[in-house]
Structure 1
Amino acid sequence: MSDQFVPTDPRGKKVLIVDDDEGILSLVELLVRTASFQVLTAMRGEDAIKKLEEKPDVIVLDLIMPGCGGLGVLQHLNAIQGPKPPVIIITAYASKDPDVAKAIKDPNVFQCQAKPLNHELLLGALHLCTKTQPLRRP
């Protein structure tokens, strides 16, 4: 028997997308749904924390949001016992915000991507985090 990793189908894998910008949230949601992932969304950190109960397989998280921002969500995630989903940070302030440097050091952060997002890079990161591969379209 082989210990080789075999990628699986993305259907059934849940992605929690968190962004306070409705346009970006809708765009990322469409992109992720089109790739056959299940999608959960939140526009505020507080709502994202509640959605963690639905056990997402990966989180796409904006850092700068009113109220409980991305760092607050990461702090809450770190307080949870047991396995935690990987986090892909998305931010328009990648080189300017000190919170980005803090977030990148978080053990749950898989990657940080700058806005405007590169769709192929984001989908690639999602497939890596969920150990899936893109579905072939007939």
Structure 2
Amino acid sequence: MEKILIIEDDADIREGVRILLEGEGYSVSEAENGRKGLELLKEEPDLVILDVMMPGMSGLKTCEEIRKISYVPVLFLTAKSQESDKLIGLMAGGDDYLAKPFSYSELLGRVKALIRRWKIYRGKEEPEQEQRYIELAGIRLNEEFNEVSVKGTNVEFSDIEYNILRLLMKYPGKIFSAQNLYESVWNEPYFYNCNSTVMVHIRRLRVKIEEDPKNPKLILTVWGKGYRFGEH
């Protein structure tokens, strides 16, 4: 089981990220400041998720201290998104950079990529010849890194949008009712008013993947039954 260390002064962010990562099977330890994080580094994590803006020892200084004793990958979290801030973080020894607010699917993609490279670097895993792709009708969905490209262009999706699209693409031609989609993606009991929630997300998906969202050819409505993925 891969181990991840979160160094973040915001308790709510720490808890949210921890719950997400533990749900994906990772072992997670937490520190609310840089000094405690450096103490937990002796547990030899496979990845450090590090907030830049922290009171006391900043994330940048913490990363510099980490680099004195370890080459573990460091993923910076920060409210700053300027290219100059990203460069400073990378120069301090960071491996990647994610600006707040971020989607959980994007965070998971970065986490998986960094850990995989780290394992290969240490000789624990051979590079895979093929990654897990679903590719249909010009849409390429990379399940390994939670990334989607439409006709060769990367497109950002919310967690809900990504999970709906992945489910529909995994079973092209299968009709999913609004209840099927809601209970599978939201993991909550379905009520009639949830139908409008599903419709809104289907509409957003069509805007991102269809040439003409008002005349969809990929995500089709089967009247009275639900939705399916498939070309006319």
Same fold per superposition (TM over 0.5): yes
* CA distance, structure 1, for counterparts of residue 19 and residue 104 of structure 2: 11
* CA distance, structure 2, for counterparts of residue 126 and residue 100 of structure 1: 17
Alpha-carbon RMSD across the aligned residues, in angstroms, is 2.0
* CA distance, structure 2, for counterparts of residue 41 and residue 27 of structure 1: 12
* CA distance, structure 1, for counterparts of residue 89 and residue 17 of structure 2: 21
Does the aligned pair in 1 maintain the 2:76–2:96 contact within 8 Å? yes
In the alignment, structure 2 segments of 5+ residues that lack a partner are 120-143, 146-232
In the alignment, structure 1 segments of 5+ residues that lack a partner are 1-11
* CA distance, structure 2, for counterparts of residue 38 and residue 67 of structure 1: 27
* CA distance, structure 1, for counterparts of residue 86 and residue 110 of structure 2: 18
Identity %: 29
Which residue does 2:15 correspond to in 1? 26
Which residue does 2:104 correspond to in 1? 119
Q: Which protein has the larger Cα radius of gyration, Structure 1 or Structure 2?
A: 2
Query: Once the 2 structures are TM-superposed, how far is the Cα of residue 110 of structure 1 from its aligned partner?
Result: 2.0
| TM-score normalized by the length of structure 1 | 0.78
Which residue does 2:81 correspond to in 1? 94
* The one of 89, 100, 104 aligned to 2:90: 104
User: Tell me, what secondary structure is at the counterpart of 1:77?
Assistant: helix
* CA distance, structure 2, for counterparts of residue 46 and residue 106 of structure 1: 17
Q: Deviations over 1:118-137 (max 9, x none)?
A: 11111111111122859xxx
Which residue does 1:4 correspond to in 2? none
Query: Once the 2 structures are TM-superposed, how far is the Cα of residue 75 of structure 1 from its aligned partner?
Result: 1.2
User: Tell me, what secondary structure is at the counterpart of 1:28?
Assistant: helix
How many residue pairs match? The answer is 119
Does the aligned pair in 2 maintain the 1:58–1:129 contact within 8 Å? yes
* CA distance, structure 2, for counterparts of residue 71 and residue 99 of structure 1: 11
| TM-score normalized by the length of structure 2 | 0.48
Which residue does 1:54 correspond to in 2? 43
User: Tell me, what secondary structure is at the counterpart of 1:102?
Assistant: helix
Which residue does 2:66 correspond to in 1? 77
* CA distance, structure 1, for counterparts of residue 23 and residue 56 of structure 2: 30
* CA distance, structure 2, for counterparts of residue 28 and residue 116 of structure 1: 12
Q: Deviations over 1:34-87 (max 9, x none)?
A: 11100010010111010111101001100000011101211111211xx52101
* CA distance, structure 2, for counterparts of residue 43 and residue 89 of structure 1: 15
Does the aligned pair in 1 maintain the 2:60–2:92 contact within 8 Å? no
